[in-house]
């Protein structure tokens, strides 16, 4: 009882994409695109994907692992500036217990060739959490998947 | 357009109170107590105070300054462990624009004489924000007011 049950951590990941800030932002605001790069990972079934992209709106993704374990990602949008910034708070956990709460900031900056995305995660990890190393690896993989989604956008515009 | 519009900061404030973790926690979970130490500051009128203390529940406090400016503090409870931990996400701003989004963690630890509160603020400050120094001073004052509220609890139990 005398021990702390929370550890805090902040990390930043930067990525450059060949799409404009507007197109990059659209991969977050369009539920069809967001579901593709954010939720449809390997080895997990999606039980539910509900998204209400507006300030104060919520998003809930429920995954089922091959062993039947259910994971819930629950998001509340805290701030949105069209094509420039998205700030959201999310928790990760099972249906009953959360293992973490985070504040995530996505900044979309124009570059000569497309967009720079600066992602900042400010996390509080609870008992049985993955911790900052695994979380950063997880987000790095997601931002790779975002890159694949944006490449798909470019291909579909050329055809 | 090429400049970042967000700056991130984390700070921690520790306080010791003569009340048990249970009594200290109650000053957050009881709307009458919370309103007294959190919302009723000097020089501001409270236009609204709505609080739904449960995971996923929201809290909204609307203040009006003497010059008529309206400030909104909007909270979503992210995690609650009875008598041990509260994690919430909140935004500060006017009715139209947010100046910050934060993740706040309150840990309640037993001591020989009462409770230690460890408060951690992980904040993202936007345009026209107060910034980390003023924010930390603001929270420090609030935690003083919490101390006064807890002293009031002790006095009322003695009478």
Judge contact between B73 and B94, C-beta under 8 A: no
Tell me, yes or no, if the pTM score tops 0.90: yes
Q: What is the pLDDT of residue A96?
A: 82
CATH superfamily, domain at B6-42+78-158 = START domain (3.30.530.20)
Q: What is the pLDDT of residue B16?
A: 97
Judge contact between B121 and B11, C-beta under 8 A: yes
Query: Would you write out chain A's pLDDT as a tens digit for each of its 159 residues?
Result: 457 789 999 999 999 999 999 999 999 999 999 999 999 876 789 999 999 999 999 999 999 888 888 999 999 999 999 999 999 999 999 878 899 999 999 999 999 999 999 999 999 999 988 889 999 999 999 999 999 999 998 888 776
* Among candidates B6, B81, B110 on the partner chain, residue whose Cβ is nearest the Cβ of A2: B110
Nearest alpha carbon to residue B69 among B34, B97, B49 = B97
In the structure encoding, which two tokens stand for residue B27, read together? 């000053």
In the structure encoding, which two tokens stand for residue A38, read together? 């954010």
* Among candidates B8, B74, B98 on the partner chain, residue whose Cβ is nearest the Cβ of A122: B8
Give the pLDDT band of residue B65 (cuts 50, 70, 90).
confident
Instruction: At B138, give phi and psi (nearest 5°).
Output: -60, -45
In the structure encoding, which two tokens stand for residue B128, read together? 């026209």
Residues in chain B with CB shorter than 8 Å from the CB of A110 are: 1-2
Q: Does A73 touch chain B (CB under 8 A)?
A: no
Distance between CA atoms of residues A132 and A144, nearest Å: 18
Q: Taking residues B83-102, what's their average pLDDT? A: 94
Closest B-chain CA to A11: B8
Distance from CA of B103 to the nearest CA of A (A): 6
Q: Taking residues B77-94, what's their average pLDDT? A: 97
Q: What is the pLDDT of residue A155?
A: 87
Least confident interval from A99-108, B40-49, B110-119: B40-49
Q: What is the pLDDT of residue B98?
A: 94
In the structure encoding, which two tokens stand for residue A27, read together? 């991969």
* Among candidates A6, A84, A87 on the partner chain, residue whose Cβ is nearest the Cβ of B105: A6
The tokens 């949008």 sit on which residue? A77
Q: What is the pLDDT of residue A1?
A: 47
Nearest alpha carbon to residue B33 among B56, B15, B53 = B53
Q: Taking residues B17-31, what's their average pLDDT? A: 97
- What mean pLDDT, rounded, does chain B reach? 93
Nearest alpha carbon to residue A49 among A66, A32, A65 = A32
**H helices present in chain B, as ranges:** 21-29, 31-34, 132-158
- Tell me the domain boundaries of chain B: 6-42+78-158
Q: What is the pLDDT of residue B148?
A: 96
Q: What is the pLDDT of residue B1?
A: 47
Distance between CA atoms of residues B93 and A79, nearest Å: 11
Q: What is the pLDDT of residue B132?
A: 92
Q: Does A98 touch chain B (CB under 8 A)?
A: yes
Nearest alpha carbon to residue A5 among B141, B118, B35, B44 = B118
Least confident interval from A37-46, A144-153, B4-13, B106-115: A37-46
Q: What is the pLDDT of residue B2?
A: 58
Cβ distance B85 to A6 less than 8 Å, yes or no, reads yes
Does ipTM exceed 0.85?
A: yes
């Amino acid at each position: 009882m005398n021990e702390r049950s929370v550890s805090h951590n902040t990390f930043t990941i930067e990525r450059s994409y060949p799409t404009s800030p507007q197109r990059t932002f659209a991969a977050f605001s369009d539920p069809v695109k967001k579901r593709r790069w954010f939720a449809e990972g390997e080895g997990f079934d999606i039980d539910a994907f509900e998204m209400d992209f507006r300030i104060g709106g919520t998003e809930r993704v429920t995954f089922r692992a091959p062993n039947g374990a259910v994971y819930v990602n629950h998001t509340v949008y805290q701030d949105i500036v069209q094509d420039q910034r998205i700030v959201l708070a999310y928790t990760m956990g099972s249906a009953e217990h959360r293992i973490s709460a985070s504040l995530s900031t996505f900044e979309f900056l124009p570059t000569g060739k497309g967009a720079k995305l600066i992602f900042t995660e400010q996390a509080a990890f609870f008992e049985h959490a993955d911790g900052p190393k695994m979380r950063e690896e997880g987000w790095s993989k997601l931002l790779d998947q975002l890159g694949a989604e944006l490449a798909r956008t470019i291909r579909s515009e050329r055809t």
